[in-house]
């Protein structure tokens, strides 16, 4: 039996583990530091198979339970390094000081969305503060919303919102605005002091004492991270996305990636699809060894 490590216990990693484990060719371990985006998703109502909205944390637990039933091992740890040794095995080290060797590795570490250190963001998460326009735009039909960010990620989020919201603002928080701002978006270049609201977002307050009344605030600073591990083994990364082909193979034989860390549609359905492809590719790779 070969040893396979999947880094990340979100929908992409868990989906890959199902396919790899059922092939009977590998011992499959999934390692995670317990930070899946899905945990932060209050209610999911755009994923197949649920009559009622399902909390993200519940979907996550059910996925893991299904994989455990098939013999997948789950470990809580943070991976800090991957190297390729002379026998072409992956030598993977964690923050708890453990280094182990694997025949194949999948990176499914999700996207690390940058969080600004602004008062009110943490408190109002899920109550007007969102990290995903595709997921939550629907709730802001004909309402005013703000996107905090200044680059292409923020522009994408603003475009998705502008079809639904009555008015979309991009708040740069004092950062320089990139080129390519979409039409119908109002730019506010002031520094933010806090997000205000008792129970839900009501306004963004600026350090010059002014306020902008909005019903929702979308955080879209920088782009997705999570690519450092790929870089360590020399797998190409572009615009903070790990580059993969349609089989979820990176340029490094035996190293696969999928889910939010490979970009594209940052949704559960896409992560599950990527995981299925990666799982099948891992099996094919091991059988060809
Ligand atoms: C607030 C919010 C609401 C959302 N709502 C929806 C929705 O309604 N519908 C929808 O389809 N999608 C929604 N999404 C998006 C969805 O959650 C993601 O697209 C999906 O979870 C991506 O899956 P993934 O497996 O690629 O990554 P993730 O689910 O983010 O999982 C990443 C995994 O990697 C692990 N990890 C990361 N780095 C390391 C490391 N160094 N060592 C060990 N483990 C590591 C984490 O612990 C985690 O287990 C939402 C996201 C957010 C934040």
Domain coordinates of the chain in residue numbers? 2-112+224-287, 129-219
Residue 173: name the closest of 217, 224, 127, 236 by CA: 217
Atom of ligand 1 nearest to the CA of 260: 26
Distance set, CA 70 to CA 19, 78, 241, 281 (Å) = 10, 23, 30, 19
Alpha-carbon torsion (278, 55, 159, 201), positive or negative:
negative
| Amino acid 35: pLDDT | 80
> CB atoms < 10 A from the CB of 147, how many?
31
Mean pLDDT of the 22-40 span: 91
Q: Which residues contact 101 (CB under 8 A, 6 or more apart)?
A: 3, 85, 89, 90, 91, 92
Mean pLDDT of the 255-278 span: 95
Query: Residue 224's pLDDT band (boundaries 50, 70, 90)?
Result: very low
Confidence check: pLDDT of 225 > 60: no
Element (H, E) at 56: helix 56-69
Distance CA 284, CA 275 (A): 14
Query: Residue 179's pLDDT band (boundaries 50, 70, 90)?
Result: confident
Confidence check: pLDDT of 184 > 90: no
Return the residue matching tokens 């011992």. Answer: 27
Q: Give the pTM.
A: 0.75
CATH superfamily of 2-112+224-287: FAD/NAD(P)-binding domain (3.50.50.60)
For 260, the 3-state DSSP assignment is: helix
Atom of ligand 1 nearest to the CA of 45: 8
Q: Which residues contact 15 (CB under 8 A, 6 or more apart)?
A: 63, 271, 272, 273, 274, 275, 276, 279
| Amino acid 109: pLDDT | 92
Distance CA 234, CA 84 (A): 10
Length of the chain: 289
Residue to mutate, 38, 42, 59, 258, ligand 1, most ligand atoms under 8 Å from C-beta:
38
- Give me ligand 1 centre to Cα 171, in Å: 25
| pLDDT tens for each residue of 130-175 | 877 877 888 999 999 999 988 766 887 898 899 899 999 999 999 8
Paired residues of 12 in beta bridges? none
Q: Is the CB of 17 under 6 A from ligand 1?
A: no
- Domain 2-112+224-287 and domain 129-219 have a common topology: yes
Element (H, E) at 11: helix 11-22
Question: Residue 12 carries which DSSP code?
Answer: H
Structural class in CATH, domain 129-219? alpha beta
Q: Is the CB of 135 under 6 A from ligand 1?
A: yes
Distance set, CA 100 to CA 184, 196, 289 (Å) = 52, 48, 20
């Amino acid at each position: 039996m070969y040893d396979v490590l999947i880094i990340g216990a979100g929908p992409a990693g868990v989906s890959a583990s199902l396919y790899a484990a059922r092939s009977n060719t590998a011992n499959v371990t999934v390692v995670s530091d317990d930070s899946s985006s899905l945990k932060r998703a209050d209610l999911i109502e755009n994923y197949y198979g649920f009559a009622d909205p399902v909390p993200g944390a519940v979907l996550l637990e059910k996925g893991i339970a299904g994989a455990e039933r098939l013999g997948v091992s789950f470990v809580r740890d943070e991976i800090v390094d991957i190297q390729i040794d002379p026998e072409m095995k992956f030598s993977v080290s964690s923050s708890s000081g453990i280094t182990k060797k694997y025949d194949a590795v999948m990176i499914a570490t999700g996207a690390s969305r940058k969080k600004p250190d602004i008062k009110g963001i943490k408190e109002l998460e899920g109550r007007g503060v969102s990290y995903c326009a595709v997921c939550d735009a629907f709730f802001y039909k004909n309402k005013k919303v703000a996107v905090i960010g200044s680059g292409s990620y923020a522009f994408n989020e603003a475009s998705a919102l502008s079809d639904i919201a009555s008015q979309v603002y991009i708040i740069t928080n004092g950062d320089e605005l990139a080129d390519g701002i979409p039409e119908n978006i109002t730019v506010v270049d002031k520094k933010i002091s806090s997000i205000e609201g008792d129970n839900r977002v009501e306004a963004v307050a600026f350090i010059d004492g002014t306020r902008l009344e909005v019903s929702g605030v979308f955080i879209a600073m920088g782009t997705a991270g999570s690519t450092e591990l790929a870089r360590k083994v020399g797998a190409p990364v572009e615009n903070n996305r790990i580059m993969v082909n349609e089989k979820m193979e990176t340029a490094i034989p035996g190293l696969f990636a999928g889910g939010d860390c490979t970009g594209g549609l940052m949704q559960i359905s896409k992560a599950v699809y990527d995981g299925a492809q990666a799982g099948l590719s891992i099996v094919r790779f091991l059988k060809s060894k």
